[in-house]
Amino acid sequence: MNFKLIRLFNKRKQKFIFYGFINVLITNCFLQFFLLFLSTSLATFLSQQINIFFGLNIYGKKVFKVDRIKKRYFLSYLGMAYILWILNWLLINKTSSIFLLSKNLSAIIILPFLAALSYLLQKNIVFRK
């Protein structure tokens, strides 16, 4: 692997983390609010809809440098988003019940795992050229 490719990869990861932080901040604020009033499945579903709206555009254009969001990108991102929604929902419930934590704290704890998985899926599947 040449150094130019390594630098590009590291820069992409840095951008993903930066824009991901913004996206997660927005999405997680909604999730935390929704968890106060709604079931875990509905709260995570609604926050995932917000994530789809922001994430597809932010990650596609700013991180993975696509000119325009093609149908293929949209459908792949949508599939990934729903997989992550189901994982988010299940892991929040499992983490909170196994470790006797609040659902809100469980959501924060599993966040790094979901972010890493999201990056790998976007890099290797969603925005693959």
pLDDT at 33: 93
- 79-111 pLDDT, tens digit per residue, is 998 898 899 889 999 999 999 999 989 988 998
Of 56, 94, 90, which is closest to residue 75 (Cα–Cα)? 56
| Type of residue numbered 5 | L
Ranges of residues in the chain with a pLDDT under 70 are 1-9
Q: Which domain holds residue 77?
A: 3-126
pLDDT at 4: 60
At 85, phi and psi to the nearest 5? Answer: -60, -50
Split into its structural domains, the chain has a count of 1
Residues 6+ apart with CB under 8 A from 105: 96
pLDDT at 7: 61
